[in-house]
A and B are shown apart, each in its own frame.
Chain A
Amino acid sequence: MRHDRRFFLLAELVLGAAAVAMLIVMFSGKKENPRAAVIVSESDSGRWVSFISGIKQAAAEQEIDLVISSTGELTAEQERTLIRQELAGGADALMVQPAPGSDTDSMLRSAAGSIPVMLVVGGSSPDADGSSFPLTAPDNYAMGQSLASMILEDFAGKPDGKTIGIVGQTLDTEAARMREQGFRDGLEGSGCQILWTLEGTGDDKEANISGQARADIVAVLDTADLEAAGADAEARKIHGALVYGIGSSTKALYFLDHDNISGLVVPNGFDMGYLGFTEIAEKLHHRSYSMKSRTISFRSVRREDLFIDEDQLLFFTE
């Protein structure tokens, strides 16, 4: 009898707890979506169009509220302040392009605390490869190699005696170093001569390219400089040099379309946004999930490739 009573009480208790849990679930309403903030330098720039399209797609699928901070050119201090503002505004995760001059890891740790952070690298980002945070970025070395291949293809594999100038905003970063290394390794044994290498920051670059010795080919390793080189080529300021570059922006495509750039290696900005944000979303939905770094694809593009139906979506993402 006692045994029956105990079993009865236990059964009623378990069922009662289940009923209470169900009531809580029923009346708790829809949970608020988690919120993620995206901080990239010059967020309104054309080079982020595909990237932002990708993160918007991922945010819609994963039911994450998205905030894209409107920024100009960011310094490390400005980025730190912005991160803190977003966190104060309720951000549960961050997607960050590390600003130049920042000690990425320590700055992010002190600013972001324990919330999930995904780094994205877009051309002129400083060192992020050695970071302990996950990173979504293209294979920079392979892109450099691909750029070299395009040049060799255009010269039927034998650009003997051709001179090349290399332009990169901050060539002492790991990303830029890898691109340059890949490019140089790709040209090894081709007979090309690297005439000069330009690095540094800011607006001096425009003057510097035209101020350099005339090269047959100018290889540009980042988007901003590529746009500048394209403009220089359009303005006939680079002595007829053929411009090849690594970059992703509508402006760069425009210059390619108008023959001011001969060949482009375009990293998949949409994938960078979509895949990187999907990692963040997984972490937000499943606390035990460990975010992974993602390597995104790239395409070698020439003018005639621009308006192929299947590829237009990838190049001209709205």
Chain B
Amino acid sequence: MLAVSLILYSRFSGSTRDAAIRNTQNVMRQTQANLEDYLVSMRQISDAVNFNVISELDVSDPALEQQLGLIYESYKDRLISIALYNGSGSLLAAIPVASQKTDPNVTRQSWFIAAMDEIENMHFSTPHVQNLFDDSTYSYHWVISLSRAVDITDSDTPGMGVLLVDMNYSTISQIMEQINGDESGQYYYLCDSSGKIIYHPKQVLIAEGLADEDSDFASMQSDGVYRDSLDGKNRSLVVQTISYTGWKLVGVIPDSSPAQSIVNVQYFIILLCIITMMLLIALNRIVSGRISRPILRLNESVTAYEAGEKPAIYIGGSTEIRHLGHSVQNSYEEIDRLMKQIVQEQNERRRSEAEALQSQINPHFLYNTLDSITWMVEGGKNDDAVDMISELAKLLRISLSKGHSVISVRDELQHARSYMHIQKTRYRDRFQMEYRLDAGIEDYCCVKLILQPVLENSVYYGVGEADEDEGGKILVTGRKDGDVIVLTVEDNGAGIPEEMAARVLTDDTIVHKRGSGVGLRNVNRRIQLTFGEAYGLQVESEPDCGTRVTISFPAIPFTPENQAELERGKLPGKGGTGHET
């Protein structure tokens, strides 16, 4: 903007300067015309006097002065005097009539000398004070003398004389004063061909040495425009020659004096620059604000979120910022959801474990078992009692498992066997147990207390109510199917109605009338919490036919490390590295 302004200003100031020069030239042309008209009229006066009066009349003839008087009267506003001298400098005639000063030294005056030196020409002098006649009003006149050598006849004797027409200098000074007085510093002056000043607005100051003018330079130039420097100040000079005299009319345009129009342009350009800067600053703020404000607001909402507040993430601004905001919001929502899920899972895990823990010390089962043992002891069946106590001990030991929630399949099977052994003692021969277990599945990790609840359901809701001759049977199978351990508990008992079978793993309102109360849902949830959603229970049942519960979980070798990983909620990788379930 600044560069454009400077260029515009430079062009405008150049144009203004050119216009000033053209204007000056126009003024000078008019002034030149006026001066030339004036000088021409003086020449015409001189010619008229010379050819119509002096050439026609004898200087001793009184009519000569009368004729001179007539001519003088016609032009007296421009003339001071008309005088005729002989070659010796004696006054022959003069108008207006006046007494000549004593010893004016006419022959030593420059106008006389010039006329006598070049008799073929008319000579215009530079302005001077007339030093010829007495003026009773004590006045002196500034004149420009037009002198020429003339042929005179004095008492019939031909001779040479000098005709002097003294023009009133004030006519020229008035012409020049009219074009001077420009307050911009521009001025005009007149000088002769030798550089001597004829008119200058500071003529007296120049004479006193208080001002300078380089009229010598201008006087040597032909008509045109020139560049000049005076006292360190640059200026343009317009020079025009005045005809007949060789005078130079000089117009001076200082560079430091701009016209009012260019001053106004300077102000306007400065104002334009200021307004443009204001607008640019405001626009910059708006644009940068529109860009940065959404980012800052997004940042503020993220910061607030990180500080624990729950503000809505700012969605606004450009497409990119909106996308960023959506991404951040989605990320936070996902984090939130996952955290809630984790918390929920932890809670469920704790609840399930608590429930499982509760089942470990189910008082009813324990009571019944101890009761059975008491009965055995009272009945003298000490061996059976010992056997039952032993199985109870195993069951309790595995139930506790030193607080571990993940045990080996071997221990889980042993727990199931112990449980069923105790139950068979109580239920006598109401059902049969069969175990078909593949070799090698016992050394894998397993969630504690998953078989016993299923067996419990089979006993209480499957075959437990059947008569001895109904042939109730519970089959426990175990195999490794690829990377999955599959345990099934199958009975041929009463079965579960279809609608109940569908709900048994999902509805936690189902209240167990008997048993530990842990339930299949608990087993399923604990398996999924430990191993993932892909694993757990699958219940198939048909009323009066039986029920089959399939338990699946990944085949993770039982090692202390894997056990610890699983209990921490991580799934051991194939290489033993854990990953989250």
Contact = CB atoms under 8 A, between A and B. Distances in A.
A26 B281 contact: no
Nearest to A53: B204
B181 A60 contact: yes
Given A270-B208, A318-B173, A22 B138 contact: no
Contacts of B296: 1
Interface in B203-234: 203-205, 207-208, 210
Given A316-B140, A316-B142, A8 B274 contact: no
Nearest to B110: A309
B131 interface: yes
A22 B101 CA distance: 65
B129 A307 contact: yes
A61 B183 CA distance: 9
Nearest to A270: B204
Interface residues of A, number: 41
A190 interface: no
Interface in B459-484: none
A316 B204 contact: no
A46 B170 CA distance: 18
A63 B142 contact: no
B140 A313 contact: no
Contact size range, B? 35 or more
A191 B207 CA distance: 39
A314 B207 contact: yes
Contacts of A88: none
A19 B208 contact: no
A274 interface: yes
Given A63-B183, A307-B131, A22 B277 contact: no
A313 B203 contact: yes
Given A274-B205, A318-B170, A15 B277 contact: yes
Nearest to A13: B278
Nearest to B126: A309
B155 interface: no
Given A57-B202, A316-B142, A15 B281 contact: yes
A103 to B, nearest CB: 35
B285 interface: yes
B264 A12 contact: no
Contacts of A292: none
Nearest to A312: B129
A78 interface: no
Nearest to A58: B205
B281 A250 contact: no
A25 B201 CA distance: 31
A313 B278 contact: no
B207 A310 contact: yes
A313 B131 CA distance: 14
Interface string A275-318: 00000000000000000000000000000001101101111111
Interface in B110-148: 126, 128-129, 131, 134-135, 138-140, 142
A26 B181 CA distance: 24
30 contacts: A8-B281, A15-B277, A15-B281, A16-B278, A19-B278, A22-B270, A22-B271, A25-B267, A26-B267, A26-B271, A30-B260, A53-B204, A54-B204, A57-B204, A57-B205, A60-B181, A61-B202, A63-B183, A250-B140, A254-B140, A257-B101, A258-B101, A270-B204, A274-B205, A307-B128, A313-B204, A313-B207, A316-B129, A316-B140, A318-B173
Interface of A: 1, 8, 11-12, 15-16, 18-19, 22-23, 25-26, 30, 46, 53-54, 57, 60-61, 63, 250-251, 253-254, 257-258, 268, 270-271, 274, 306-307, 309-310, 312-318
Given A19-B271, A60-B201, 12 more contacts: A16-B278, A18-B274, A25-B267, A26-B271, A250-B139, A250-B140, A257-B101, A270-B208, A307-B128, A312-B129, A317-B204, A318-B170
